[in-house]
């Protein structure tokens, strides 16, 4: 029983083992060697919280706060981790004096604890466990379960979801948890407690982990009287304590001032043993109870005796340290060692140091004084290679001091005890072979070693004892070999002789014995003899039907030739040629078999009476009358009862006789007759008339035996209309149509629309829907929350397709505060029936620290830039008109592209946004269309366009300035026609020529210049709201026409450029120059075909820009990156092909595109969360970059003006002279950069002069 309990203890892991009856002091040694040493009281220093050590263990006197502290403590900084399975156990003898804690474990925040408590009233034990929201409450054992003044064994066991308290191996308390017990954090662990402590003795205290308590290894119900752990014990104790494998009792004396047997401890600060030795430790260490000697805790956790003398010295009777012998590390006197200096040496019984086995003495005064022997030597002398004894047990030392294996063994590994392995039986000598041995010589003289590694006796001998010289005995003369005795033959000398079961040799069948001691001692009998006495006399005949005559010869009784055998004819035969082959059969329904006997004819079977009986009419072959092997009809088959029945698809026309099977209808798999089906083939079903009709899939109908597809969305149908529809569709007339909000041809699936969250720098949080809503959403339909439990007030506004939550401007918003907007209303639908796909949105609010208060430096830059820009642009226009009008056109193109950047999804600061918008020319002149067309909520532009500054979606209002310029030019053309009619003939001719050239050039240049603005305004119109009246339809139709022109323009320009390139007009061809002006004349033809395609790239790049700015607002990153790519390609084209002839125009175009690319690239930075300082710098860089660009344009215009000043002067003087002289001939208008080009450019560029106004707020 004790052995079983000890095995149980070994399976668990012991992490704490305090033996208070053996060990005392300020440090209690952990005998589990887990380094979980405890301290007396609350530290290694002596305090009033210390317990008193006795020979019965640790004595608690009942002083509040008296305790033993487990790790973490002043001795060990790391605490004890218990896991989910463990048990705590202790032997306790308590005085019935109060209500006290025995042990307490608690987490630093008091959220997790466990304790055991004794209540003196009724001797009750209490316990409680609390952790992670689970609390057992205080549970009680039964009254009297915890008696006083006797030793009691207490166990608290926790097993994941449950816990138990045992008293003397009886389960007294049970806990059940709702979750698995676990520990995290730092715990304090006490024996006793900081509050109330008992008057009690603790013999020991142990903790086991990874194991639940099952069987005690500490208690036993039987006790042998006299086994006392101290000198005096009770006459009996129940239970007894198991200690070191034996059962004991312990004294129950709870008096700290005397030992367990009553010896007074007077003069001791603590307890004492029966010899009166005080348990007083004079410093913070552990001491041994039996001797009172101070112990030191070693690095491996073990204890050793403390002595004030150093190594190599001993303490004499006078208290002085004397030298030990030279090879002693420690000693108790000067003539014997307690331990040795050399690592591998030890003191023998006389106290001398000798080397351990496997080493030899070199210099025992050194740590390495015992040198290792060779691995083959168990002991050696003088040298590592000179063995005294061998490691291998069956080896001996030869004369040279080497180890060799004894005879009868072979060497495997001389460095281990079993290194010499026995040879096989009978081998005198052998060698290692594979995994075994191979004999070399044998003990027995008449034996030999063979290839299988063993010794065997020679032929004619048998093995009696192969370990002896005469181990092989001679066999009997008849035996070639024999086994365990001489007459037990294994093989015989005679070739045809065999040993019987007794080992005696005899001749085989057909042979007789002649002389079994010779090789041919068995001679053959006659062929008719199975056995014989001699060559002419048979004992048995080969044929069992034959008889033996008086001469010993065999004959047949039926006169058959004995050589052919004496058998009768087969039973089936009427006559036969040989016994088994019939000539005729006795049964008329049988025929002779070619193998043996007779077989039944077809349609017959052989009955048990060996007669051929007729089969069933349906059978061609059978084994019984009603059990067929084959059927007559090829359309019949055997069933499980071996009866013929018609195959599937056939019916029996002879009323189940099974031999007239006719085919069913092709659609039947089983039928009764040709008109009645019972089962149908695949894809057919049986109707009420027992006919099989075609089964069609869903979405098909049957007609004349074939399946035809239904109309789309029909689940079932007939040849005329749908009968049922697929999910999410309904019948309308004869067809199925998808329900509102669903679409599809084969199935109806939901159509989704979406919404996005946008937050501007004023913390206006906008939820923008891509489609209008069918049901109006109110403020109550939204749930607004903020991260980190913030709560801000806001104002709710509905704005076209968007809902805006404006956060209180006075709110203090920290960094990284997120707003979460949830749409509480379910099944939100759009006006088109689409389903909303997202109901929750999240975004980061701008912190109040990021609201930009523009520094005075930035304001000064902005104000200076505003003034200088107006001067620069005005000077550029003035000089460009007289110098290079193309430079002015390029300047306005650059400004126009930049002005539409805020229409995208980049959240610019307000200053940058207003600055960029102000570079355009939209709605800055008085607009009469705003009076003619009503502006209301039904004509609002979409959200981004409205934020851009457009108050309506109507294109005629937004594009008024462009349309006004167009109308103004039409009026000018009309006036030229009128002047042509009323002025003198010479002026009329000039007006005619001017009008003829101007009408082409103007319209081309007008469309080139207005392309971007009109394209964007048209897309804004078709994406926004409009009323279903004349105003709304007119604006949408006009915008649609312009969009078509915008899309077709790059194609038309490409075709036109190709035609002009192919025809390659010469400089003198008047029509080309006049009709198309500088659109082709201004380019270099020597740059090849692509160098001539400037306007193809020009229109294509602006078409892509229009698409990006109006259609990619949901993906701002993609939008700005695409714009950068488009701009990079155009800049690359300008640098590679240098298409302009005019160098000023060429430089101006490159500068404009570089500026555009730079501003777009800087716009990427607005996608990131920048600090206020960085935003100020970014604002300054953008404004200064645009200013520098305009300044360079102005410089180029001035340079162009100065280079053409002489030509301009000549041009003016010529005009004055022509007017004065009123010449009749007309001046040939040269279409170059000085004459015609300037004339046309001036007329077109003036359309923008009044509209260019730089604004920085």
Inform me whether the pLDDT recorded for 107 exceeds 90: yes
- Look at residues 1001, 983, 1005 and name the one whose alpha carbon lies nearest to residue 992: 983
Tens digit of each residue's pLDDT (9 = 90 or more) over 1085-1131: 556 666 667 778 888 888 888 888 888 877 888 888 888 998 898 88
Residue 927: pLDDT band with limits 50, 70, 90:
low
How many residues does this entry show for the chain? 1257
The answer to whether residue 280 scores a pLDDT higher than 80 is: no
Strand partners, 692: 686
- In terms of pLDDT, which residue wins out, 301 or 183? 183
Distance CA 420, CA 396 (A): 10
Q: What sign does the CA torsion over 612, 614, 620, 622 have?
A: negative
Q: How confident is the model at residue 1069 (pLDDT cuts 50, 70, 90)?
A: very low
Q: In this predicted model, what pLDDT tens digit does every residue of 1241-1252 receive, in sequence order?
A: 333 333 333 333
Q: What is the pLDDT of residue 992?
A: 60
Residues 260, 274 contacting (CB under 8 angstroms): yes
Q: Which residues contact 366 (CB under 8 A, 6 or more apart)?
A: 341, 342
Which pair of structure tokens corresponds to residue 1191? 């300044």
With beta carbons less than 8 A apart as the criterion, state whether 599 and 591 touch: yes
pLDDT band at 328 (very low <50, low <70, confident <90, very high): very high
Give the pLDDT score at 577.
67
Q: Is there a contact between 489 and 505 (Cβ–Cβ < 8 Å)?
A: yes
> pLDDT value at position 1248?
34
User: What value does the mean pLDDT take over residues 1224-1232?
Assistant: 38
In this structure, are residues 202 and 57 in contact, taking their beta carbons and an 8 Å threshold? yes
**Contacts with 730 (C-beta within 8 Å, 6 or more apart), sequence order:** 736, 737, 739
pLDDT at 1176: 83
Question: Burial level of 178, CB count in 10 A (0-12/13-18/19+)?
Answer: exposed
What does the pLDDT read at residue 1231? 35
| 507: phi then psi, degrees, rounded to nearest 5 | -80, 150
pLDDT of amino acid 701: 86
Q: pLDDT confidence of 975, banded at 50, 70, 90?
A: confident
- Contact criterion met (CB below 8 Å) for 163 and 136: yes
Residue with the two structure tokens 């089969």: 615
> DSSP per residue over 349-393, as a string?
TTS-EEEPTTEEES-TTSTT-EEEPPTTEEEESSSTT-EEEESST
For the chain, which domains are there? 2-305 (2.60.120.200), 307-372 (no CATH), 589-693 (no CATH), 751-850 (2.60.40.1220), 854-921+1144-1207 (no CATH), 945-1112 (no CATH)
Out of 488-502, 1153-1167, 1196-1210, which region has the weakest mean confidence (pLDDT)?
1196-1210
Q: Name which residue leads in pLDDT, 784 or 1143.
A: 784
Q: What's the rounded Cα separation, in Å, for the pair 13 and 19? A: 17
> Is the pLDDT confidence value at 756 over 80?
yes
Under a CB-based contact definition with an 8 Å cutoff, are residues 280 and 268 in contact? yes
Query: Which pLDDT score is estimated for 714?
Result: 92
Q: Are 347 and 339 in contact (CB under 8 A)?
A: yes
Secondary structure (3-state) at 870? helix
pLDDT at 656: 61
| End-to-end CA gap in the chain | 98
pLDDT digits (tens, 9 = 90+) for 814-846: 877 889 999 999 889 988 889 998 999 988 888
Of 81-95, 508-522, 708-722, 1139-1153, minimum mean pLDDT range: 1139-1153
Q: 859: which residues sit within 8 A by CB, 6+ positions away?
A: none
Helices 885-899, 1172-1203: inter-axial angle, 10-degree rounding = 160
Write the CB contacts of 1204 (distance below 8 Å, at least 6 apart in sequence): 882, 883, 884, 1233, 1234
State mean pLDDT over 79-100. 89
Tokens, residue 858: 């930035």
Q: Which of 92, 82, 71, 85 is nearest to 11 (CA)?
A: 85
Other Cβ atoms less than 10 A from the Cβ of 889: the count is 22
In which band, very low, low, confident or very high, does the pLDDT at 239 lie, cut at 50, 70 and 90?
confident
pLDDT confidence bin for 5, thresholds 50/70/90: very low
Pick from 928, 911, 1229: which is nearest to 1078 by CA? 1229
Q: Mean pLDDT of all residues in the chain?
A: 79
Q: Is the dihedral of CA 387, 392, 397, 403 positive or negative?
A: negative
pLDDT number for residue 8: 37
φ/ψ bin of 1037: left (φ > 0), alpha (ψ from -120 to 50), beta (otherwise) = alpha
Q: DSSP letter for 739, please.
A: P
- In this structure, of 66-70, 152-156, 413-417, 909-913, the range with the lowest mean pLDDT score is 909-913
Provide, rounded to the nearest whole percent, the portion of the chain with pLDDT above 70.
80
pLDDT at 304: 57
Q: Take residue 1147 and report the two structure tokens written for it.
A: 């430089």
Q: Residue 1220: what pLDDT?
A: 60
Cross-strand partners of 463: 472
pTM of the model: 0.36
Q: Tell me which of 403 and 1023 has the higher pLDDT.
A: 403
Q: Give the whole-angstrom CA distance, residue 464 versus residue 484.
A: 7
Among the ranges given (11-25, 214-228, 442-456, 1054-1068), the one the predictor scored with the smallest mean pLDDT: 1054-1068
Q: By C-alpha distance, which of 975, 1237, 1018, 1224 is closest to 1111?
A: 1018
Q: How confident is the model at residue 229 (pLDDT cuts 50, 70, 90)?
A: confident
Distance CA 949, CA 762 (A): 17
Q: What is the pLDDT of residue 991?
A: 59
Q: DSSP label at 435?
A: T
Residue 344 structure tokens:
């591998």
């Amino acid at each position: 029983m004790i052995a079983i309990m000890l095995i149980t203890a070994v399976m668990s892991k012991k992490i704490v083992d305090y033996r208070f009856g053996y060990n005392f002091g300020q440090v209690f040694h952990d005998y589990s060697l887990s380094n979980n040493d405890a301290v007396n009281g609350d530290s290694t220093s002596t305090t009033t919280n210390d317990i008193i050590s006795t020979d019965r263990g640790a004595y608690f006197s009942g002083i509040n706060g008296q305790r033993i502290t487990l790790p973490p403590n002043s001795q060990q900084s790391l605490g004890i981790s218990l896991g989910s399975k463990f048990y705590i156990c202790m032997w306790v003898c308590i005085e019935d004096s109060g209500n006290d804690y025995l042990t307490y474990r608690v987490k630093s925040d008091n959220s997790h604890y466990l304790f055991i408590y004794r209540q003196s009233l009724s001797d009750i034990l209490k316990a409680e466990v609390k952790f992670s929201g689970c609390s057992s409450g205080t549970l009680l054992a039964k009254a009297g379960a915890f008696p006083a003044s006797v030793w009691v064994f207490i166990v608290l066991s926790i097993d994941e979801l449950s816990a138990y308290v045992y008293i003397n191996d009886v389960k007294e308390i049970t806990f059940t948890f709702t979750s698995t017990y676990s520990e995290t954090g730092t715990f304090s662990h006490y024996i006793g407690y900081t509050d109330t402590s008992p008057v009690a003795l603790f013999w020991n205290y142990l903790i086991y982990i990874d194991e639940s308590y099952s069987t005690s290894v500490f208690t036993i119900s039987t006790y042998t009287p006299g086994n006392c752990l101290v000198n005096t014990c009770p006459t009996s104790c129940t239970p007894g304590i198991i200690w070191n494998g034996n059962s004991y009792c312990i004294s129950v004396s709870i008096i700290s001032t005397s030992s367990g047997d009553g010896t007074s401890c007077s003069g001791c600060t603590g307890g004492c043993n029966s010899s009166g030795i005080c348990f007083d430790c004079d410093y913070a260490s552990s001491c041994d109870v039996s001797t009172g000697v101070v112990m030191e805790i070693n690095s491996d956790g073990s204890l050793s005796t403390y002595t004030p003398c150093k190594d190599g010295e001993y303490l004499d009777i006078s208290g002085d340290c004397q030298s030990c012998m030279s090879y002693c590390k420690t000693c108790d006197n000067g003539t014997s060692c307690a331990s040795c200096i050399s690592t591998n040496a030890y003191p023998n019984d006389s106290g001398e140091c000798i080397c351990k086995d496997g080493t030899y003495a070199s210099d025992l005064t050194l740590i390495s004084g015992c040198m290792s022997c060779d691995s083959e030597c168990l002991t050696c002398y003088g040298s590592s290679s000179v063995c005294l004894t061998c490691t291998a047990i069956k080896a001996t030392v030869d004369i040279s001091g080497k180890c060799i294996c004894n005879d009868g063994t072979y060497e495997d590994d001389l460095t281990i005890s079993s290194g010499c392995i026995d040879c096989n039986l009978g081998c005198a000598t052998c060698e290692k072979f594979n995994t075994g041995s191979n004999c070399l010589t044998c003990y027995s003289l008449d034996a030999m070693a063979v290839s299988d590694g063993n010794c065997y006796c020679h032929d004619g001998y048998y093995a009696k004892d192969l370990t002896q010289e005469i181990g092989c005995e001679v066999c009997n003369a008849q035996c070639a070999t024999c086994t365990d005795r001489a007459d037990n033959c294994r093989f015989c000398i005679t070739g045809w002789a065999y040993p019987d079961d007794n080992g005696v040799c005899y001749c085989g069948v057909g042979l007789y014995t002649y002389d079994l001691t010779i090789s041919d001692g068995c001679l053959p009998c006659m062929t008719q003899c199975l056995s014989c006495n001699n060559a002419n006399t048979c004992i048995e005949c080969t044929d069992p039907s034959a008889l033996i005559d008086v001469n010993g010869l065999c004959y047949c009784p039926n006169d058959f030739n004995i050589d052919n055998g004496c058998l009768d004819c087969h039973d089936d035969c009427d006559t036969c040629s040989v016994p088994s082959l019939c000539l005729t059969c006795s049964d008329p329904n049988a025929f002779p078999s070619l193998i043996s006997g007779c077989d039944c004819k077809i349609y017959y079977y052989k009955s048990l009476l060996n007669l051929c009986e007729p089969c069933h009419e349906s059978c061609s072959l059978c084994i019984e009358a009603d059990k067929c092997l084959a059927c007559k009809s090829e359309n019949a088959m055997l069933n499980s009862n071996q009866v013929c029945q018609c195959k599937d698809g056939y019916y029996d026309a002879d009323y189940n006789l099974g031999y007239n099977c006719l085919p069913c209808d092709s659609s039947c798999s089983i039928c009764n007759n040709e008109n009645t089906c019972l089962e149908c083939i695949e894809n057919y079903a049986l109707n009420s008339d027992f006919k099989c009709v075609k089964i069609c899939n869903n979405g098909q109908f049957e007609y004349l035996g074939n399946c035809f597809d239904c109309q789309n969305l029909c689940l079932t149908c007939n040849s005329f209309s749908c009968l049922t529809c697929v999910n999410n569709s309904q019948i309308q007339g004869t067809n199925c149509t998808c329900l509102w909000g669903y679409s599809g041809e084969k199935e109806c699936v939901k159509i989704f629309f979406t919404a996005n969250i946008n937050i501007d720098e004023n913390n206006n949080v906008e939820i923008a829907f891509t489609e209008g809503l069918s049901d109006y959403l109110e403020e109550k339909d939204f749930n607004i929350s903020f991260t980190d439990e913030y709560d801000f007030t806001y104002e709710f506004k509905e704005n076209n397709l968007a809902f805006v939550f404006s956060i209180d401007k006075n709110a203090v918003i920290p960094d990284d505060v997120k707003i979460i907007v949830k749409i509480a209303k379910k099944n939100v639908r759009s006006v088109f029936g689409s389903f909303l796909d997202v109901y929750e949105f999240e975004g980061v609010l701008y912190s109040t620290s990021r609201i930009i208060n523009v520094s005075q430096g930035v304001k000064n830059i902005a104000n200076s830039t505003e003034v200088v820009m107006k001067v620069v642009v005005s000077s550029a226009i003035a000089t460009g008109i007289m110098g290079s009008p193309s430079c002015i056109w390029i300047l306005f193109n650059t400004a126009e592209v930049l002005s539409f950047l805020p229409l995208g999804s980049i959240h610019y600061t307000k200053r940058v946004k207003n600055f960029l918008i102000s570079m355009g020319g939209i709605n800055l002149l008085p607009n009469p269309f705003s009076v003619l067309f009503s502006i209301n909520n039904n004509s609002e532009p979409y959200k981004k366009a409205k934020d851009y500054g457009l108050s309506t979606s109507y294109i005629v209002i937004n594009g008024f300035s462009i349309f006004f310029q167009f109308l103004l030019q039409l009026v000018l053309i009309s006036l030229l026609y009128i002047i042509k009619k009323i002025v003198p003939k010479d002026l009329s001719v000039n007006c005619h020529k001017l009008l003829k050239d101007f009408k082409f050039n103007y319209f081309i240049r007008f469309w080139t210049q207005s392309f971007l603005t009109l394209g964007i305004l048209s897309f804004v119109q078709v994406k926004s709201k409009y009323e279903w009246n004349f105003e709304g339809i007119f604006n949408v139709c006009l915008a649609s026409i312009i969009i078509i022109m915008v899309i077709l323009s790059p194609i038309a320009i490409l075709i036109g450029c190709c035609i002009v390139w192919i025809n390659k007009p010469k400089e003198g061809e008047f029509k080309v120059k006049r009709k198309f002006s500088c659109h082709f004349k201004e380019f270099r033809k020597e740059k090849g075909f692509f160098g001539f395609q400037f306007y193809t790239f020009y229109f294509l790049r602006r078409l892509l820009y229009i698409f990006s700015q109006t259609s990619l607002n949901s993906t701002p990153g993609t939008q700005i990156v695409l714009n950068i790519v488009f701009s990079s390609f155009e800049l690359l084209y300008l640098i590679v092909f240098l298409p302009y002839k005019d160098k000023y125009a060429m430089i101006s175009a490159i500068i404009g595109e570089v500026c555009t690319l730079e501003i777009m690239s800087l716009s990427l930075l607005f996608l990131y969360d920048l600090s206020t300082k960085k935003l100020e710098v970014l604002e300054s860089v953008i404004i200064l970059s645009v200013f520098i660009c305009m300044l360079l344009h102005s410089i180029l215009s001035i340079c162009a003006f100065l280079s053409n000043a002489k030509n301009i002067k000549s041009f003016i003087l010529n005009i004055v002279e022509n007017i004065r002289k009123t010449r009749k001939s007309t001046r040939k208008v040269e279409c170059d950069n000085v004459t015609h080009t300037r004339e046309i450019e001036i007329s077109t560029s003036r359309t923008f002069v009044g509209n260019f106004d730089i604004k920085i707020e």
